[in-house]
Structure 1
Amino acid sequence: MNKLRRVMFAMLVTVANVSYAELSQHELETFNHEPEVIRSLLLRAVDAEHDVKNVDSDWQAARFYCQASRLGSAEAQFRLGMLYASGKGVPANRDLAAAMFATASLQGHYESQKMLETVELSMVDLPPCVLAEVEPEKAPLEHAHVATIDQYVAGLPKDKRWILHLVDTISAWYKVDAKLVLSIISVESNFVTTAQSNQQAQGLMQLIPDTADRFNVKNAFNASQNIKGGVAYLRWLLAYFKGDVALAVAAYNAGEGSVNKYNGIPPFPETRQYVKKVQARYPVKNHSFDGTITEPSPIFKRRG
């Protein structure tokens, strides 16, 4: 029976277009113990959260978490609470977040119990989408699919917060703003150290093999090596594009060659959506840079 459950789970992961690498071991075990209908909803929600092409990705995830919450899933209730806590996809509402954490805690959900230590519980109803078969309210348009990096980081579970200290340390070495690095990590991998894309981008900052080789990263799944390589590349891009954050971020996604070719942000929907997501979390247009690292992009000569 356990073998059959694993096979069925693998099929669900494939259908939902979620890579095993995007799920932690804890998530795999948690999802595998859910009934099939809930497991499917959770996988679809995770898939939505990783869809950088969809401006409503976080709201779509909230829809699936609402459905699974109505079916009694403590994991879905916790994840919906996290969305309300950070304002991702749905309006930020600490009371509704606390209500969801409290509901999941009654089922013994450990992360929810820990989150209740950080929010003040008040007597409020659950979100309408949990009480009835209705759509969740969308976040205001300007925050429809992202939260600021401060909001995002505030909602990180404790078992991922060690990454913040690592980013702070390494970013300081390379003189790159840690908030920019965290914003890129949040969009690239959602802080999953084992994340791997279909294009073989790996780890927290989703380094492709060529970039890993370029910046001497031997093991892209090692968090420290991955962040060092990603931040070193980001520092180079900031120098190459003379501190223009949008161009550097676009190049991080599509490569500096593509940015040069199109004389700006490439017209690829994925890249444009990627830049929007990072900029919404890190709304800074210009970053300091070290002009001795590299010659600037030819874009600036063409612009005069």
Structure 2
Amino acid sequence: MTKVLRTCGAILLLAMASQAAADLYGYVDEKGVAHLSRVPLHEGYYLFKKEPPEPLPEEPRAVIPVFPVPAAARDTRINPAHRKHYGPLVTAVAREHKLDVALLHAVITVESGYNPKAQSSKGAMGLMQLMPETARRYAVKNIWDPRDNLNGGAQYLRDLLVMFNNNLSLALAAYNAGEAAVVQAGNEIPPFAETRSYVPRVLAHYDSYRVLGTWPKAISKF
């Protein structure tokens, strides 16, 4: 009974952060981590919340956190050739998923530096550094395929913006640390050094791209 209560409580916390979403399915894994999905990914998921979808704003609102960007955290690994080649595809995917183009470019700048073969020590892969579980959640067929990777990451980012009521800082924190970590931190940026460095770095690039519009704009075939 205690386990059931803990499970329901974990799902409830995530659902409270998802007031703008439509149908929500909940699942708590063997480690006690709560997960939400718009569709049941396996028989362990169950319908937890059903609401009519609400209209989304055209662009997310940036909420600037109080954490400064340390000099050591500035991005120096961007490959100009990769950026030029994949930039148009990033722009196209952002528009397909109704994301701010500058925002998606900013996330990729920090996540992978436009390197489609980037892989982290934790197992995140590709342009948007998808974890295998996230790739499965969004039906990514080939995590190393740039378009598949971008589509999965863009959908995830869009869902996080919905989940956290368009609070950009929290959505970015969740992209880095996971949505459960943000909820468990009381809908605040979790106290992880990596996440508290990540969020202002992405926002700094986002502001730069919005002002300068320096991403590649021409759409090419891939």
Aligned equivalents of 1:201, 1:159: Cα separation in 2 = 19
Q: Alpha-carbon deviation of 1:158?
A: 4.0
More strand by share: 2
CA contact (8 A) 1:146 1:280 kept: no
Distance 1:195 1:159, change over 3 A: closer
CA contact (8 A) 1:160 1:191 kept: yes
| Unaligned 5+ runs, structure 1 | 1-53, 59-144, 285-304
SS in structure 1 of the partner of residue 120 of structure 2: coil
Q: Alpha-carbon deviation of 1:216?
A: 0.7
Distance 1:146 1:197, change over 3 A: closer
**What residue number does 1:56 align with?**
71
Q: Alpha-carbon deviation of 1:163?
A: 1.1
Aligned equivalents of 1:273, 1:231: Cα separation in 2 = 21
Q: Alpha-carbon deviation of 1:56?
A: 2.8
Q: Which of residues 223, 244, 266 is equivalent to 2:167? A: 244
CA contact (8 A) 1:146 1:281 kept: no
CA contact (8 A) 2:79 2:113 kept: no
**What residue number does 2:177 align with?**
254
Q: Which of residues 263, 266, 272 is equivalent to 2:190? A: 266
CA contact (8 A) 1:189 1:204 kept: yes
Q: Which amino acid aligns with 1:212?
A: A
Which fold has the larger relative contact order, with Cα–Cα distance below 8 Å and residues 6 or more apart in sequence?
2
**What residue number does 1:181 align with?**
104
Structure-1-length-normalised TM-score: 0.43
| Unaligned 5+ runs, structure 2 | 1-68, 209-222
Distance 1:250 1:190, change over 3 A: same
**What residue number does 1:223 align with?**
146
4+ residue runs over 4 A deviation: none
Q: Which of residues 206, 211, 217 is equivalent to 2:134? A: 211
More helix by share: 1
CA contact (8 A) 2:173 2:195 kept: yes
CA RMSD in angstroms comes to: 2.2
- Number of residue pairs the alignment of both structures matches: 139
Q: Alpha-carbon deviation of 1:282?
A: 1.5
Mapped pair 1:194 → 2:117? yes
Structure-2-length-normalised TM-score: 0.58
Q: Alpha-carbon deviation of 1:170?
A: 1.0
